[in-house]
Structure formats: C-alpha cells, structure tokens
Chains A and B, each alone.
Chain A
Amino acid sequence: MTHALSESQVEFHWMGDQALLIRLRLPAPELLDRLLHLVRRLEVVFWENLGVLEWTLGYDSVALHYDALAVEPRELLARAKAACFSQEDEAAPVGLDRRSAEDIVTIPVCYGGELGPDLEEVARGAGLSVEEAVHLHEGVVYRVAVIGFAPGFPYLEGLDARLATPRKATPRPCVAAGSVGIAGRQTGIYSFATPGGWQIIGRTPIRLFDAGLSSPSLLQPGDLVRFQRVTKEEYDDLLRA
C-alpha cells in the first residue's frame, strides 16, 4: 500500500517563525498510523538538517520545530511537502509499522476506592456496575496518540464509548502521579502530580517519566497499552518494589 497523501488531505500552517504545523485531514481509524508514518518520513527527509530541532505530535497534526537561523522556511516547507506527497513509498518495511502483541505495555491499576474516587460516578453515568466499568476499561488494548500536558502523560485512544464521561466541573488542585483518568472519549495517566479535571478511576504504581533515564518516558506515541487490575495490596507491593 502507498502512504503518499493527496493535497486535499494535508494542511500546512506556520506557527510563527518557530515551527511548521502539518495537519492531516483523515478519518480517525487511519489517522494515527498515517501521522506516525509521516513522522518517520520527516525524520529521514530532515536527517542531516540541523535546523530542524524536533517534532511534537498532536491528535491530527505534527509540528516541526525549526531554527530560522539555520534553515530557510521555504526549503523546510518544500521538503515537508515532498515527505507528504512523494509516491516512492512502497518499500516501507512492513514489520516496523505495526507493533506485535508482545510489545503491549501492561500497566497495573488499582481501580476505585481512595485511589480512584470517580469510578462510581463514571460507572453510574454509563449505567453500569463498578465491576462492569472496570472490566470495560481493562479489557481493551489502547494506543498512545499524544504525549502532552505533562512529561510522559499519554493520551490513549480506544476507550469504550460507554465509559466516555465529561471532565469534572471543577478541576482538582492536585491529582496524584499515576492517577488513571477519563475525559470525554480519552483515557490517560497523570505522569506527575498536577492540577487536573479528569475523572479519576484508579492509580498505577508505575512511574511514567524518569528524568534520570536517557529514555525518560515509559511510553511513546503509537505504543500499545493494556491496563491490568491489581488489588490494593498488590499496588502497595509494586509501589515498594
């Protein structure tokens, strides 16, 4: 299959003289794959160009951060277009595109109770028992769409539509690190203690971001994630480990 995009599927926006935003107009099922593929193309296209500093992924977009002292914006745009529209893409190594089942990151979660104070509200809103709500949340393989808000904070796609719950009317001044939350159709994990308005249904003892590691984030965009329910005792044991 070809990954080349058509002109009507791509928009380019300058983010000042600091970044180029590339937005894909594609339906959700293929959006993330196409974005991740585009990022890999861009990494090759700009491989030797030190003027392109890094990239940030959004839900339907990728920003290329550049240094206007080192790369001409027009050249940047021309190369980005080439990455989007070139057809010579048939040889993309298929094996690298999709992760296998072994690559699923399992994240232990203690649901409900004091670690998940909004679980009952989420279940009630969905017309489900707490047990059913937990079952729906841990029974799915999610994909990391965006890492944002805080270092290592994953926005996961794949939440069962029945669990979709609006944010809390009043955000909490402090949500504990490891808290697993729901906001609309998204689920995610607070990587640091921060203020936050997501519905908190549980907590993981796993650390999502460690600045002391050269690869500091547990998760990256495109990673597959599954939640696994643990008891409070198991949670405490893992926390101590």
Chain B
Amino acid sequence: MTSFGRRHVEHTSMGDRVQRMGGVSRGGSIAGDAGGVGGVGGVATVVRPGAYTTLQDAGRTGYRNLGLTVGGALDLDAMRLANAIVGNPPNTPALECTGVGPEIRFDRPVCVGLCGGDFSVWVDDEPVSVGRPLWIAAGSLLRIGAARSGYRLYMSVRGGFCVDDVLGSASTLARFGIGGWAGRPLSAGDRLPFRQTAEPPNGRSLRQETASVVSTPWRIDPDVFRPDLVDADGHVVLRAMEGEQYPLFDADAVRHFWASTFVVDGRSDRMGIRLKGSHVPSQAGSMSSEPVVPGTVQVPPSGEPIVLLPECQTTGGYAKIATVIGADIRVLAQLRPGDRLRFTRVALDEAVQLRKRRFAAIKALMMEIQTHVGDI
C-alpha cells in the first residue's frame, strides 16, 4: 500500500468535462419527487438480497459480560468511509454486503456511498465505480454484483436508514435475531425506509456519469481497503501477537504456525474464519471457558486454526496460539474463501503503533473527504 498517505483521494482527469457540462443538469431522469412521506425520505426496496447482506454499525459495546458479542461492521474503516463520502456521521448504520451484493431500487432520489472490497456495480445497466458519492435518480436500480477483490462492501445512504437501536446499536446479530433489519439478513421484497432524499446539489465539481447517476470526479484510492502486507507469492500477511496459551504449544507447533500458508475455508462467517491447508499440532487441548476477542486465533483439536471476527462468542475453550492485531481486523474482513494467508509475529508496542498510524491515516482521509463533500 505504498500510495497510502499520499494519494487517498484519486483525482480523475475529468475536470474539463465537468466544466463543459456547466455543472449538473437537474432535469431529465435525475429529477425525482422532492420531499418525503410521513417524515421518511424514501424507501429502498430489495429486489435481490445478495449472498448475505446485513445492516451494521460500529457494534454493541458494554454487554460482553452478559455474553453479547460486539459485532458490527467487520471492516469498520470501510463502513466509516462509506458514510463519510455521503456526509453522514461515521457510525451511521450501513449495509454490509458479502461476496455478492444486493439489487436495490429507490423510490426517491438518493445519495449512496460504496466503500470496501472492489465489487462490480451498476446503476440500471451502466457500470459505476465505487469510493465516491453516487446521486441516483428515483426509480433506478442499484445492482451490486460480485467482488473482484476483497469480500465485503459497505453501502451507506445519505441521512441513514430508519432503524431503531437495540441495546445502543443497529447492528444485526442474525444468530440471535437481535437488531438491524428484523434481526436478520435482507431478503427479497424488504422495504427499508431511509431518512433523506438527496438531489445532486448544484456543485460545480459534479458530473453526470450516466443517465441516472451523478458523481464526483474524485474517489477514494482502492488501495486504502487492501492489506498493508502481502508477501512475494501474493499471500496476505497478518500481523499477530503471541496468544494466551502460546507457551503450551511446543517448538514445532509454533514454528509451523508462523511458517505455514493457510487457506480460508468456505465455512467461514461473521463469527470467524476457518483455516485449512495446514495443521498446527496442538497439545494444548481445551480449557475451561475464557474470554476471547476479535483476532483471537484458536487451535481446536483438529489442528486447523479459527481466527475470530467481531461477531465471535465472548468466551471460548480452545487453546489460543495468537491474536491478530487490531489494525488487521479489517484485513480479515476482506478475506474470502480460497484466499491464502500467513501470520507474522509482532510485539505489543508495534501493534499499538500500527493501530494509531492506521487510525491517523483514516482520520486524515475523512477530513480530506469532508472538505471535498463540503465543496459540492
């Protein structure tokens, strides 16, 4: 990710075209009915739900001692940036798409933000690129296809979806039917109200992309959502610290763990990523329940590690050989079945430094976006 810090916002060379267009045409298919119904901006109707699409925000904190997982967006940076580009507060609930996204029709004009993995996206039949705000005309169909790279894409709408918080969060915890949209992933026919219709403003820096889409000439550099570290073979390298039972693994097991390449198994979900392709001999066995965190790498008796994600259980009983550092949780979120990865060891100080550096970079990017969004 060499460009990071220098090229957050990629300026395309479309400035002259914007000039020629003399700003944005407010006529034609962009013009929709202004205003909302009953205090609601509009309705997003789910035509196809995608592989697994849920409403997520920053998660539910404060209930882990009652067995309730934090959950929330797995790639928090992507969710927050999706909100930033439409001018929302960073933790506004957004849709998390997994592998293949949904098709959604809007009954009113809307401003949508898409950030995260590199997914194919169309509005009606025209391809559009992600990482920037898209003003979509009323009646248009947003079609989020398959991921070309990465695995999770976040979709925000300006003003946010109208959903109630449950225990302080709108995150969907589908396993227990808690929060989000009816406590479950989206299904065809769902009608999600959103708060705000959004006509494209008379911004001098906007351009008409297609008949029904207006966007900005800038977008977020897709590298922001890619892993920090990739080895010579193109495998993702996850930085991890020694886990709570690290000393219980013998020298061979430990060497094997740090040296092996693992493959992401298809039986992975929001709770955790199952790894295959290499076995870590475990003498540590099981222990009585003790706390786990997102990033915890457990080794069950089978020897195939499980890396926990933000929707993991609060406690677990398998031996924990390592913990993926906080800065790399968002990298885990973008791994898809079949991806190859390995682990590299870091100490606490480095982990904290990396987290601070990532946070500072994302914050700077959000500030920059704000000036661009404010400019529109």
Contact with A along B35-77 (1 / 0, CB 8 A): 0000000000000000000000000011111111100000000
Of A17, A23, A146, A151, which one neighbours B63 at CB under 8 angstroms? A151
B355 touches A21 (CB 8 A): no
Annotate B213-254 by CB proximity to A: 1 below 8 A, 0 otherwise. Answer: 000000000000000000000000000110110000000000
0 or 1 for each of B347-370: is its CB under 8 Å from A? (1 = yes)? 010011001100100000000000
Q: Cβ of B295 < 8 Å from any Cβ of A?
A: yes
**B175 on the A face (CB < 8 A):** yes
Q: Are A148 and B313 in contact, CB atoms less than 8 angstroms apart?
A: yes
Which residues on A sit within 8 Å (CB–CB) of B67?
A: 147-153, 191, 209, 217
Residue in A54, A58, A152, A192 whose beta carbon sits within 8 Å of that of B289 in the complex: A58
CB distance from A160 to the nearest CB of B (A): 19
Is B294's CB within 8 Å of the partner chain A? yes
Is B325 at the interface (CB under 8 A from chain A)?
yes
- In angstroms, Cα B110 to Cα A153, docked, is 42
Which residue of the partner chain, among B68, B291, B352, B355, contacts A61 with CB atoms under 8 Å? Answer: B291
Q: Are B352 and A18 in contact (CB under 8 A)?
A: no
Q: Which of A65, A69, A192 contacts B64 (CB 8 A)?
A: A65
Q: Contacts of B324 on A, CB cut-off 8 Å? A: 16
**A56-B291, A60-B288, A65-B293 are known contacts. Are A147 and B66 too (CB-CB below 8 A)?**
yes
Q: Which residue of B lies closest to A153 (CB)?
A: B67
Q: Are B295 and A18 in contact (CB under 8 A)?
A: yes
Q: Does A62 contact B (CB under 8 A)?
A: yes
Q: How far is the CA of A48 from the CA of B326 in the complex (A)?
A: 23
Q: Is B314 an interface residue (CB 8 A)?
A: yes
Please determine whether A55 and B290 come into contact, CB atoms closer than 8 angstroms: no
Q: Are A59 and B61 in contact (CB under 8 A)?
A: no
Contact A15-B291, Cβ < 8 Å, known A211-B167, A216-B167: yes
Q: Is the CB of B326 within 8 A of A148?
A: no
Complex CA–CA separation, A18 to B63 (angstroms): 16
Cα distance A14–B64 in the bound complex, in angstroms: 18
Bound together, the chains give a CA A16 to CA B314 distance in angstroms of 15
Q: Is the pair B176, A192 in contact by a Cβ cutoff of 8 Å?
A: yes
Query: Which of chain B's residues have a CB closer than 8 A to the CB of A146?
Result: 289, 315
Question: Could you tell me if B289 and A151 are in contact, using CB atoms closer than 8 angstroms?
Answer: no
Q: Is A109 an interface position by the 8 A CB rule?
A: no
Q: Report yes or no: A150 in contact with B351, Cβ–Cβ below 8 A.
A: no
Q: List, in ascending order, chain A residues with CB within 8 A of B351's CB.
A: 16-17, 68
B356 touches A63 (CB 8 A): no
Which B residue's beta carbon lies closest to that of A39? B65
Q: Is B179 an interface residue (CB 8 A)?
A: yes
A53 touches which of B61, B244, B292, B352 (Cβ 8 Å):
B61
Say whether B241 contacts A17, CB under 8 Å.
Answer: yes
- Residue pair A216, B66 in contact (C-beta under 8 Å): yes
A212 part of interface (Cβ distance < 8 Å): yes
**Chain B 293-304 interface mask (CB, 8 Å, partner A; 1/0):** 111100000000
List residues of chain B with CB within 8 A of the CB of A216. Answer: 63, 66, 68, 167
User: Of the candidates A19, A59, A194, A221, which one forms a contact with B288 in the assembled complex, judged by CB atoms under 8 Å apart?
Assistant: A59
Whether, in the assembled complex, A129 has its beta carbon less than 8 Å from a beta carbon of chain B, the answer is no
Contact of B326 among A13, A16, A217 (CB under 8 A): A16
Complex CA gap A57/B63 in Å reads 11
Cβ contact of B66, chosen from A23, A60, A220, cutoff 8 A: A220
CB–CB A53/B62 < 8 A: yes
The one of B290, B295, B313 that contacts A149, using a Cβ cutoff of 8 Å: B313
A16, A23, A62, A191 interface centre (most CB from chain B within 10 Å) = A16
Which 6 pairs from chain A and chain B are nearest by CB? A148-B315, A58-B290, A16-B323, A63-B291, A56-B291, A17-B351
Residues on B lying within 8 angstroms of A by beta carbon are 61-69, 166-167, 175-176, 178-179, 240-241, 243-244, 288-296, 313-315, 323-326, 348, 351-352, 355-356, 359
Give me 18 A-to-B residue pairs in the complex whose CB atoms sit less than 8 angstroms apart, sorted by A's number: A16-B324, A16-B351, A19-B291, A54-B65, A56-B64, A56-B314, A56-B315, A57-B291, A58-B288, A58-B289, A58-B315, A68-B356, A73-B352, A148-B289, A151-B68, A151-B176, A192-B176, A194-B175
Which residues in A have some Cβ–Cβ distance to B below 8 Å? 13-19, 21, 23, 53-63, 65, 68-69, 73, 146-153, 155, 191-192, 194, 209, 211-212, 214, 216-217, 220-221
